[in-house]
Amino acid sequence: MADNARAKRLADLIREVVAQKLQRGIKDPRLGTHITITDTRVTGDLREATVFYTVYGDEEERTAATAGLESAKGILRSEVGRAAGVKFTPTLTFVMDALPDTARNIEDLLDKARQSDAKVREASAGATYAGGADPYRKPEDETDDTAE
């Protein structure tokens, strides 16, 4: 088992090497400049690496980029092995990062909440309290009720 610091360093190196190779070294037209490597995680035994990526574009470009990454996996792995200099080069698994979709979903939910708050604010603009400003009894009110 490797320590966490070593796995983190290897993950950072894999992220940099894969990003540079995608940008400069691979001639596949499916792997254009619209792919971003967002994160890389390596298992504790340094045998497997998961590379998270995002693709800016529509669904067709995403599927093309996924197919392109799968076809370039061997080239990328050999480049990682050359740069890392470790005994065993980790296998690469590419996973589409859900972070942009999650962020977009959260923004939509926040917009709905803002609209709902605005509707409540408009409805309560001219409203008054049903039982007065302070509907709770106070100790001095109880003495007034018993005196009558």
Q: What is the pLDDT of residues 78-133, one digit of tens each?
A: 989 888 888 898 999 999 888 777 888 899 999 999 999 999 888 888 877 776 67
DSSP assignment of 87-108 equals: SSPPEEEEEE--HHHHHHHHHH
| Residue 145 neighbours by CB under 8 Å, 6+ apart | none
- The rounded distance, in Å, linking the Cα atoms of 77 and 17 is 10
pTM: 0.68
